[in-house]
Amino acid sequence: MKLMNFKLLSLVVATGVATASCQQNNKATTDKADTAKSSKFLSKPLVSHIFTADPSAHVFEGKIYIYPSHDIEAGTPENDNGDHFDMRDYHILSMDSIGGKVTDHGVALSVKDIPWAGRQLWAPDAAFKDGTYYLYFPLKDKNDVFKIGVATSKSPAGPFKAEPKPIEGSFSIDPAVFKDDDGSHYIYFGGIWGGQLQRWNNGKYDANGSKTDNQKEDSPALTAKVAKLSANMLQFDGGVKDVQILDKDGKPLLTKDHDRRFFEGSWVHKYNGKYYFTYSTGDTHFLAYAIGDNPYGPFTYQGTFMDPVQGWTTHHSIIEIKGKWYIFYHDTEISNKTHLRNIKVTELTHNADGSIELIKPIKK
């Protein structure tokens, strides 16, 4: 190799130093911009290689497993039916601890593998009993009606195999399974507007029903549903009941009470012997909670415990991990698009009086 001219070498070195300095300054500027951007949000996205939402978290086999929706860009125009949320499969995520590395276990269940499938795999949940894991999922059937299906696996990460038919008597969206201390399992479900809850009456579906809650403003609001699961976890054990949410005077929350009434996104956890029914108020974007003495309720409204996130929807789960409580939720930090969300986690605090401390996902 020929020796490089000294002046040329000096120029190359000087240019390299200048370039490195420029790159370093650019990186510093970028880092500051990223920090400024991320500082708006309380928590960071858990994954960014895919879009995820509606995280149902559980501790299985000593690890944290998260069962989210998998948002995609389907190219469908946005509407009140939620057609733009055209999810087609589930990816299950896991991590050893809060703040640890997140593992994507790949596709656990796909629309094409469900015999009764139409479209739109929305927010799922999971449960475990006697060596088998159960994945509960909402999906529109071939008549475009949301039902709730169940799939099974011997691993919490899947893959899962769907039952040939949806759960008999199931409808609407957002299944959430709660295991009580005696081993009984209860499933909560329901969602208004795109979730079709307002189209059901006395167990019958009205395809021409309103897209929104069409009850009178001063009448009791539509509410979530609850059913006990059968011993084999594949069916309802008995009928479907309304989840009653009452005010402090024992009166049902009303249709017009949009800041407090149920809209979608049920979850139940138990704390100090009390049952906490938590849910999204939907078009007002709060997470609210009500407390009861048994899994069927009634539940007395207590207040909101999370302010609105960035993005239209709010859907969460709450679990205890090594003596601390955490809430898994989503927003739209990465995409800034309503239908392309990212899941997050932050600590949740129960106060001495049993109330839940307010969480502010967006810093002021």
pLDDT beneath 70: ranges in the chain: 1-39, 211-214
* 40-348 CATH: 2.115.10.20
Measured CA to CA in angstroms, residue 28 lies from 25, 40, 41, 63 at distances of 5, 19, 20, 36
Cα–Cα distance, 346 to 220 (Å, whole number): 33
Element spanning 329, H or E = strand 324-331
Element spanning 271, H or E = strand 264-271
pTM of the model: 0.89
Q: Which residues are catalytic?
A: 54, 264
Domains of the chain, by residue range, sit at 40-348
Contact 37, 358 (CB under 8 A): no
Contact 264, 282 (CB under 8 A): yes
Measured CA to CA in angstroms, residue 7 lies from 14, 115, 207 at distances of 10, 74, 81
- For residue 107, with 0-12 CB atoms within 10 Å meaning exposed, 13-18 middle and 19 or more buried, which class applies? middle
pLDDT score recorded for residue 214:
65
Cα–Cα distance, 234 to 19 (Å, whole number): 63
Cα–Cα distance, 6 to 308 (Å, whole number): 63
pLDDT score recorded for residue 212:
66
Please state, as a whole number, how many other Cβ atoms lie within 10 Å of the Cβ of residue 145: 17
Contact 51, 313 (CB under 8 A): no
Closest CA to 68 of 28, 23, 108: 108
Cα–Cα distance, 48 to 34 (Å, whole number): 15
Contact 134, 150 (CB under 8 A): yes
CA gyration radius, the chain: 23
Element spanning 29, H or E = helix 6-38
- For residue 258, with 0-12 CB atoms within 10 Å meaning exposed, 13-18 middle and 19 or more buried, which class applies? middle
pLDDT score recorded for residue 19:
40
157 Cβ partners below 8 Å, 6+ apart? 65, 92, 94, 105, 108
Closest CA to 335 of 87, 123, 49, 67: 49
